[in-house]
Amino acid sequence: MARTSPVTDWAVDFDVLDAQYVADPFGIWDELRKRCPIAHTDRRGSTWLPTRYEDVTTIAHDVEHFSSLEVAVIPFDGEEPEDPVLPYGLPPISADPPLHTWTRRLLLPWFSHQRVNGYEALTRSLCTSLIDGFVASGHADAAADYAQQIPVRVIAHILGVSDSHADMFTGWVRDVLEFADDPERRIHGVEGLLNYFLEEIEVRRQHPGDDLLSMLLHAEVDGAPVEQSVALGAAALVLIAGVDTTWSAIGSSLWHLATHPDDRKRLVAEPEVMSFAIEDLLRAYSPVTMARIVTKDIEFAHCPMRAGDRVLMNFPAANRDPEAFVDADKVVLDRAVNRHVAFGSGIHRCAGSNLARMELRVALEEWLRRIPDFRLEEGREVTWAGGQVRGPRCLPVVFS
């Protein structure tokens, strides 16, 4: 995989793919907030990295200067196709208004509280059967055997595609997000996803079902049918946005509980704390960083940003800002006031947050019910993915 040289000065030459940043970015953000709250790099093009809550949320609300037309944290350095299959990318996430407004409106009802309640039983039985598969052995990879397996199957159900392809979907989504600095893998992931959805679209044109993909294909907006490329992009987005993100949040939460026995014991003893706990776990281990493109030159917080520069929406660092949160570096299971931005802020705020919260809560409830006492396996390494989505990819744990 293409890697740049190790970072020596985080303020002027940062790299979010640097091994230190992927493994443990928290100290780097703390140092930057004090010394240079908006860092810069010229690696992979001129890019800014805000680390303070106030800056990140201000940028998220300024859609005039900060566009979502390119949200990839790692820009694509392969050849762009001349006639792209997705001229609008993955709306609504890669769109500015007005396209953003109506494509978001199409998706939102699918992730309402009421709909999400309807997916809870499926999620719970999925978690139970995954645990059945390894509980007797006394050890598991909590990331690969558990966290990774849950969201992809729930999303497949919502999209109306077969969950027997779960591993294939996961592979494509990892190619697109986790291995985004490898042009071959990135193209492989994009092509795999698009070709798969194009075939599924053909089936639904003839035989519409009651799934999200069918709805997108047969929806009308202002009396006109939705263009196929928009439906395709939105469907691919739901899969891409709903898999790595939630799997990373479940994995990081299990990592926290494996390494903080007091928190683990408290959650087992006081299950009513769970709904607060998942919020603080989401805050402290926020998985998602997005990008924006500067539309016109602007001096932002003394930084001379130029049109075309990239800004990384560092929601994870904003959530660790001591100016915004008391004991920002600690998980406080029953934190009462928690205006975290793990799901973003402003018009692009996560459309699937109800679903993500339900999956995280159910995954932790079922795990703790069956495996209340667990810890990291000695001598085995925990590995993390970074870049656009941060979370553990190998998390060996033991239990009795």
Binding residues for ligand HEM, rule: CB under 6 A, are 68, 71, 92-93, 104, 107, 111, 155, 237-238, 241-242, 245-246, 249, 287-288, 290, 313, 315, 342-344, 348, 350-352, 355-356
Q: Angle at which helices 274-284 and 353-370 pack, to 10 degrees?
A: 110
Q: Give Cβ neighbours of residue 27 (< 8 Å, ≥ 6 apart).
A: none
- Is the CB of 131 or the CB of 363 nearer to ligand HEM? 363
Task: Kindly state the smallest distance separating residue 185's Cβ from ligand HEM, in Å.
Answer: 22
Q: Where are the alpha helices (DSSP H) in the chain?
A: 19-23, 26-35, 53-61, 99-107, 113-118, 120-134, 150-159, 166-177, 183-206, 212-218, 228-259, 261-269, 274-284, 315-318, 353-370
CB 280 within 8 A of CB 184: no
- Is the CB of 148 or the CB of 246 nearer to ligand HEM? 246
Nearest to 128 by CA among 120, 139, 138, 118: 120
How many Cα atoms occupy the beta-carbon half-sphere of 187 within 13 Å? 9
Task: Kindly state the smallest distance separating residue 17's Cβ from ligand HEM, in Å.
Answer: 19
- Is the CB of 7 or the CB of 341 nearer to ligand HEM? 341
- Is the CB of 7 or the CB of 246 nearer to ligand HEM? 246
Task: Kindly state the smallest distance separating residue 151's Cβ from ligand HEM, in Å.
Answer: 6
b/e per residue, 74-99, with b = 16+ CB within 10 A? beeeeeeeeeebbebbbbbbbbbeee
Which residue in the shown chain puts its C-beta closest to ligand HEM? Answer: 352
Task: Kindly state the smallest distance separating residue 205's Cβ from ligand HEM, in Å.
Answer: 23
Task: Kindly state the smallest distance separating residue 5's Cβ from ligand HEM, in Å.
Answer: 29
- Is the CB of 213 or the CB of 237 nearer to ligand HEM? 237
- Is the CB of 28 or the CB of 107 nearer to ligand HEM? 107
- Is the CB of 5 or the CB of 114 nearer to ligand HEM? 114
Task: Kindly state the smallest distance separating residue 21's Cβ from ligand HEM, in Å.
Answer: 18
Q: What is the DSSP string of 329-396?
A: TS--TT-S-----TT--GGG--TTHHHHHHHHHHHHHHHHHH--SEEEPTT---EEE-TTB-EEEE-E
Task: Kindly state the smallest distance separating residue 329's Cβ from ligand HEM, in Å.
Answer: 19
DSSP label at residue 207: S
